[in-house]
Structure 1
Amino acid sequence: MTEGKVYLVGAGPGNVDYLTVRSHQLLQQAQVLIYDALVDSQLLQLVPPECHKIDVGKRGGKSSTPQIEINQLLVEHCQLGKQVVRLKSGDPFIFGRCTAEITALKAANCNFEVVPGISSALAAPLLLGIPLTDPVLSRCFAVFTAHEPDELDWESLARIDTLVVLMGGQHLAEIVAQLERHGKSLNTPIAIARWVSSPKQRVWTSDLAHIVAQTKEISLTPVVMIIGEVVKLRTYLQPSPLPLAGKTILITRAMGQSSGFSNLLQQQGATVIEMPAIAIVPPTNWEALDRAIANLLEYDWLILTSANAVEYFFERLANQNKDARAIAGVKIAVVGEKTAQSLKQYGLKPDFIPPEFVADAIARHFPESLKAKKVLFPRVESGGREVLVQQLSAKGAEVVEVAAYQSKCPENFDPIALEALQKGAVDVITFASSKTVKYFHQLLTAAGGANLDRVCIASIGPQTSKTCQQLLEKVDIEATEYTLEGLTKAIVYWADEQ
């Protein structure tokens, strides 16, 4: 049996962008994940599908998993030879209750490792544009939890320039009263931040005299409080908000093909949830493509309309012990820059890219006469692009269509994406093809549905928009440039108009 090990991992302030490289690696290798309540749901997407996930979060005022049970879970799974990630918000050693868990692991002779994370005590002020130290306004700062305010030395705390308070939302009035009682001016600025770095982030700024009234009847859990003159610097140091800050965008793309699009959206400030709505797999059989590859020199043109077509065509070419030299005498037409980039990975440059990034534009703008030309068209097995084939044939071409791959609907709706939709936490859903719309609709219907009335539907182009209208009964955004970059620009424009 493989020797088990427990990793006590800091998840950072919430947003997956602030997860350490080491933590990211461990999540991708985890066999068992035991996580806290404040851990961002996006982090749960990083673990393998077969990983056993256990929620043991402690929630104020609600029933929670006793610490002794958490200790037992860690020991039991480690002794079964599992690689266990104990995921804690922030840093494990800053109010992370690690002592009891490490004690239990050591008593059971279990291997363990503690992996640091970025504490919200440091990340929240920084992300708000509030420096904890300043040559004039703050020579020192203190971090403390106000979970049990009666146990704190308020006289000493009141003399410190800057205070960072964790777990103090329920005791705000008492914190203010204690600081005033021990000499802190009621004019002292205070900032309270809830869910920092997430789309639910909200910030209140005031002074000690008015903050209690300002936040009356507002749930201040979980929050980070910053008290001190440095809070005034936020006006000057806070970064300009990105256009998609505060927006949660659900990407429906093929498995393994959404990271580039995610990066584009995240660079504009969006929180991204990736939902595989289509699975790309090999065709039912390779017979037609193999026969075409064996007779490649008979063809004048090779048409590739997607990165999937490029990948599967060249994968099969290699399977036949051939490489790009086998098509040296064949001209290549592709649709879109992404397809061209995929082709470039094989050392080839397309001879023709239509000015419009849609397949049907190939025939309209073809650079030479197609009369008596033989064209090889590797495509998705389930069909599509009939208009393109008809147009090429009408111009005199002999078009040989072969199945290079097929697309299928995934078995289930991703649970994290479904929960976000059903809770109304998604602002935009993106679709990059008609099939992703069809499969999304099919999966959502099977999962019980969700109200999409307040969700913005974003389409990459006219054909996809048509399917959105048919199945989802609306489309709110359509890219004018039919690329992922163009769709990103369209979403940013939409957000600016809100």
Structure 2
Amino acid sequence: MSEKKGRVYLIGAGPGDAGLLTLKGKKLLGEAQVVIYDSLVNPQILKFCRPDAELLFAGKTMGQAHISQEEINELLISKAKEGKTVARLKGGDPFVFGRGGEEAEAIVQNGIDIEIVPGVSSVTAVPAYGGIPITHRQFNSSFAVFTGHHQGEDSDYDPAQIETLVFLMGLNNIESIMKKLLEMGKNPSTPVAVISSGTLPEQKSVVGTISDIAEKTRVLDVQTPATIVVGEVAVLAEAIGWYEKKPLFGKTMMVTREKEASSEFAELLGSCGAKTIEFPTIQIKPIRDTGEQLLSVRNLEDYDFLVFTSVNGVSNYFEVLASHGKDSRDLKGKKIIAIGEKTSEELLKYNLTTDYMPAVYTAEGIISLAEKLNLDGRKILIPRALVARELLPDTLRAMGATVEVLCVYETLVPDYTKEELDLMKMRLSDAEIDLVTFTSSSTVTNFFSLLGEDPELFAETGFACIGPVTAATLLGHGFTPVVTADIHTTRGLKEKILDFYLS
């Protein structure tokens, strides 16, 4: 029997923004058994890896290589020879100053199949996020790209013949680069733009000239990684620059939703320019195989209404049905009430259309809706969390309905190490976090359970709540929200946050 043959995918991760990873790169990351990644790879991209993938860091920390290039080559080869599918994930494009060519040669020389997936290069992407087109008919018809590491050495290029120069990895040598450009005939007033942490929420753009840009970057404490653009196109940064003008740019926001749902909300805030920190304060744990669930499934025909008060209630209930050989077809003829848009969208995944949805996405909203329905003598099932307010079932019973609450999941406090919690407290006390967002009462309660209620810790931090119930829970802990959404969805919360900062 022949030995299973491994292969290597050499994937460009793009310049920083996880949204700039190519579709093919994302697909192959989801297939790889081993992922070897560099320090410039956005950690958000690693979420696209399969859950059981072996993740190996091979970048630089504080300027020091974690492992040598030769060791990286050997690692790629050895993992592939074990018969594994290996993804080599490199910042930007692997073939643009990324030593991808050396790795590809080593892989091929060892008889291993390779596939190259180009990445969006910082050469074009970072200037674009800074508002700079590296070609423009009015300013240039050529550009050249250089690595900035060796600009103190002799070079045979003539910058006078190249209208736009792009330097990667050149910030630490910017003074010598500018000096050399002057020596080779460039005008001291030639515009220069330096874009630090391009395409990321930490991006900082500085515009000057060859004569003063080194001093400007020093005074403004511009940090690596940075891309340097020299040429007349750099003046367009101030006119076209768009990314740093986003309404939430420069703001850092904490997302406390459960891990499975936090990324979606983080992306919403990120689309407005915010830097997001995901700090889930709840963990969803399914409840299965209870006697109540078995009895409920057996008596499924008895229910007139099903009321869903959360997305998790929907997904977990249908998992319960599936475990007993049932699905949405067994709910034929029953009326479905969903608390809001997201819950209704989740029901569509199971081919169920919502019959009723309240105008206000709260238990109180469902109660207002129920008052218009004749529920006297009706039997209602509410699949929900183990711990929840009893207002809804109690009120529906008072209307004459028979109400059965079925617990299909519970919310727990996630496990964090002391070091992780201390780091989060330090970020809060150092005023690094502008706004903490809460999407349920349990996120509030667990947040303070994890971090305590010391007012000084949150002196420079605001709180935003998805609705009045969550806001009331926050008030119960002694803190007042600066934002409470009128429409009780994450999109509604995002819009209210925008209103708060724009006003």
**TM bracket, shorter-chain basis:** 0.7 to 0.9
Residue 223 (1) aligns with residue 226 (2): yes
**Matched residues in 2 for 1:121 and 1:209: separation?**
23
RMSD, aligned α-carbons: 3.2
Q: Which of 125, 128, 141 lines up with 2:127 in the alignment? A: 125
Residue in 1 aligned with 2:33? Answer: 31
Q: Which of 380, 384, 398 lines up with 1:379 in the alignment? A: 384
1:32 Cα shift?
2.6
1:173 Cα shift?
1.8
Q: Which of 278, 292, 295 lines up with 1:291 in the alignment? A: 295
Residue in 2 aligned with 1:429? Answer: 436
**Matched residues in 2 for 1:333 and 1:90: separation?**
47
Residue 430 of structure 1 aligns to which amino acid in structure 2?
A: T
Equivalent position SS for 1:151:
coil
Equivalent position SS for 2:29:
helix
1:144 Cα shift?
0.5
Equivalent position SS for 2:273:
coil
Residue 387 of structure 1 aligns to which amino acid in structure 2?
A: L
Kept in 1, the 8 Å contact 2:363–2:391? The answer is no
Q: Indicate how the Cα distance of structure 1 residues 129 and 399 shifts in structure 2: closer, same or farther if over 3 A, else same.
A: same
Residue 384 of structure 2 aligns to which amino acid in structure 1?
A: R
Kept in 1, the 8 Å contact 2:135–2:142? The answer is yes
Residue in 2 aligned with 1:301? Answer: 305
Q: Indicate how the Cα distance of structure 1 residues 383 and 149 shifts in structure 2: closer, same or farther if over 3 A, else same.
A: closer
1:283 Cα shift?
2.0
**Matched residues in 2 for 1:113 and 1:205: separation?**
39
Residue 20 (1) aligns with residue 34 (2): no
Residue 485 (1) aligns with residue 491 (2): yes
Within a 5 Å distance, the mapping from 1:218-297 to structure 2 comes to 218-239=221-242, 241-297=245-301
Q: Indicate how the Cα distance of structure 1 residues 379 and 60 shifts in structure 2: closer, same or farther if over 3 A, else same.
A: closer
Residue 464 (1) aligns with residue 470 (2): yes
Q: Indicate how the Cα distance of structure 1 residues 89 and 349 shifts in structure 2: closer, same or farther if over 3 A, else same.
A: closer
Residue 357 of structure 1 aligns to which amino acid in structure 2?
A: Y
Residue 161 (1) aligns with residue 163 (2): yes
- Cα deviation 1:271-295 (Å, max 9, x = unaligned): 4454554443432424323433433
Residue in 2 aligned with 1:139? Answer: 141
Residue 379 of structure 1 aligns to which amino acid in structure 2?
A: R
Equivalenced residues, count: 492
1:313 Cα shift?
3.4
Equivalent position SS for 2:60:
coil
1:96 Cα shift?
0.8
Kept in 1, the 8 Å contact 2:207–2:237? The answer is no
**Matched residues in 1 for 2:8 and 2:364: separation?**
55
1:365 Cα shift?
3.8
- Cα deviation 1:131-162 (Å, max 9, x = unaligned): 21222310101101121124343661232111
Structure 2 stretches lacking a partner, 5+ long? none
Task: Output the TM-score relative to the length of structure 1.
Answer: 0.87
Kept in 2, the 8 Å contact 1:154–1:179? The answer is no
Within a 5 Å distance, the mapping from 1:433-444 to structure 2 comes to 433-441=440-448
Kept in 2, the 8 Å contact 1:130–1:238? The answer is yes
Kept in 2, the 8 Å contact 1:281–1:405? The answer is yes
**Matched residues in 1 for 2:199 and 2:169: separation?**
17
Kept in 2, the 8 Å contact 1:32–1:85? The answer is yes
1:91 Cα shift?
0.9
- Displaced runs of 4 or more, over 6 A: 413-421
Kept in 2, the 8 Å contact 1:286–1:404? The answer is no
Equivalent pairs: percent with the same residue?
A: 36
Residue 354 (1) aligns with residue 358 (2): yes
> Which is worse superposed, 30-39 or 165-174?
30-39
1:208 Cα shift?
1.4
**Matched residues in 2 for 1:64 and 1:295: separation?**
61
Residue 335 of structure 2 aligns to which amino acid in structure 1?
A: K
Within a 5 Å distance, the mapping from 1:38-187 to structure 2 comes to 38-58=40-60, 61-62=63-64, 64-153=66-155, 156-187=158-189
Q: Indicate how the Cα distance of structure 1 residues 481 and 31 shifts in structure 2: closer, same or farther if over 3 A, else same.
A: same
**Matched residues in 1 for 2:168 and 2:424: separation?**
27
Q: Indicate how the Cα distance of structure 1 residues 114 and 343 shifts in structure 2: closer, same or farther if over 3 A, else same.
A: closer
**Matched residues in 2 for 1:61 and 1:311: separation?**
46
Structure 1 stretches lacking a partner, 5+ long? none
Residue 392 of structure 1 aligns to which amino acid in structure 2?
A: L
Kept in 1, the 8 Å contact 2:59–2:65? The answer is no
Residue in 1 aligned with 2:395? Answer: 391
Kept in 1, the 8 Å contact 2:378–2:400? The answer is yes
Q: Indicate how the Cα distance of structure 1 residues 414 and 57 shifts in structure 2: closer, same or farther if over 3 A, else same.
A: farther
**Matched residues in 1 for 2:273 and 2:192: separation?**
26
- Cα deviation 1:312-348 (Å, max 9, x = unaligned): 3344445555555544443332211222233344444
Kept in 2, the 8 Å contact 1:154–1:178? The answer is no
1:21 Cα shift?
1.1
